[in-house]
Structure 1
Amino acid sequence: MKFSRSLRLLAALTAVLIFAATSALAVTAEEGAANLIKKDSDPVLFTLDSLKGNSVSLQDLLGKKAVMLVFWSIFCGPCQEELPLVDKIGKKYKEQGLDVYTINLDGPKRKKNVDALMNMKGFGFEVLWEKVEGAAYLTADAYGVGGTPSLIIIGKNGKVSFAHVGNTTEEALEKEVEAALK
């Protein structure tokens, strides 16, 4: 009896500490968007390795398709909420020319966790690994990502058509994707 009470107390204390830590680190959408790449900008070119083991170069996609990029972390609660919507939109608009790539900020050291999540949820998008040098997230920093999830859409014209930090609605995302596909 005493053992289970101690476990409950430990679990409650752990939950409080996790909540306090994530709340202290939380970034509002406005703060996270302050430096985010702007609409009508040229996208920052990159080549990143994927969860599947191949390399993906943004330059190879520009001008041919609309591209949605989502910067995320496996430890980000709002990301876990956003990814099913991203997948749904990606599948809906794939035949019209939308490619979806998510850029995971946790790195290949979390490959097992990310792979398990992709398999469990049945997501159809490709996961790319962010390049990290020291404390710098090379692609995320180049795009001005200040919080996750950060969603960037590059239109068929090769320009950034939408950039957003935080969760979005299905209606808003569809509107932005449809504009990017024109």
Structure 2
Amino acid sequence: MLPETMLKDLNNNKIDLHKFLEDGPLVISFWFLACEPCKKEMIYLDKYNQKYSKYGFKVISINIDNSRTFSRVKPFVNSKKYSFTVLSDPKSLFFRKVGGIVCPYTVVVDDKGQIVNTHMGYNPGDEIKLEEEIVSLVFAAMKAPNPDPPIITNSAGWNSTAKWPPTIR
């Protein structure tokens, strides 16, 4: 289960992480500025947040830079114009509480707050499996049959012909 926690956003406002579960499933991604694989993963996370937010899905990005490097986080995030919410965990307390060891560390959470999967690190192609997980969670969270199901688009830009809902391998 996703632990109860309060984190701060980049404007120093306290945010209850569980509030994000009210609309549907989440992907929580932990990262820091010097992590190049984190930045590559964030490109896909932004696309998924935009693509599946109409189904109640959200990406929450949690930066774990310490107080010495945190001053560069907000300018970086603003320059990228990410569509997802960015929070801060400067002492990595929540990061460790949910099993984080290395970054990027991605936590997949269903609409009931259950952690259903985690991913450590990032390699090209990992985003395809993550998108399949997102679509399965979105589909499972829907209360009624969806006449307009989400379509998985592979990294080359063409639509998948996989059966609906996709199975997770």
In 2, Cα distance between the equivalents of 1:131 and 1:114?
A: 11
In 1, Cα distance between the equivalents of 2:126 and 2:109?
A: 18
RMSD (Å), alpha carbons:
1.7
In 2, Cα distance between the equivalents of 1:63 and 1:154?
A: 12
Which amino acid in the other structure matches residue 101 of structure 1?
I
Which amino acid in the other structure matches residue 131 of structure 2?
E
Q: Does structure 1 residue 166 correspond to structure 2 residue 121?
A: yes
Query: Aligned pairs, how many?
Result: 137
In 1, Cα distance between the equivalents of 2:68 and 2:86?
A: 14
Secondary structure in 2 matching 1:84: helix
* Counterpart for residue 137 of structure 2: 180
* Counterpart for residue 72 of structure 1: 31
Q: TM-score, normalised by structure 2?
A: 0.74
Q: Work out the percentage of aligned pairs sharing the same amino acid.
A: 26
* Counterpart for residue 27 of structure 1: none
Secondary structure in 2 matching 1:61: helix
* Counterpart for residue 31 of structure 1: none
Of stretches 43-52 and 53-62 in structure 1, the one that deviates more from structure 2 is 53-62
Unaligned runs of 5+ in 1: 1-41
Which amino acid in the other structure matches residue 122 of structure 1?
K
In 2, Cα distance between the equivalents of 1:79 and 1:151?
A: 10
In 1, Cα distance between the equivalents of 2:84 and 2:21?
A: 18
Q: TM-score, normalised by structure 1?
A: 0.69
* Counterpart for residue 112 of structure 2: 157
The CA deviation at 1:81 is 1.1
In 1, Cα distance between the equivalents of 2:126 and 2:34?
A: 21
Unaligned runs of 5+ in 2: 141-169
User: Which residue among 54, 75, 78 is the counterpart of 1:116?
Assistant: 75
Deviations 1:11-65 (A, max 9, x none): xxxxxxxxxxxxxxxxxxxxxxxxxxxxxxx112211000133222123233542
In 1, Cα distance between the equivalents of 2:13 and 2:137?
A: 26
**More helix as a share of residues:** 1
- Structure 2 contact 23–57 (Cα < 8 Å) conserved: no
- Structure 1 contact 51–115 (Cα < 8 Å) conserved: yes
In 2, Cα distance between the equivalents of 1:175 and 1:48?
A: 28
Deviations 1:76-132 (A, max 9, x none): 111111111111111111111112111111045434421222222221111111042
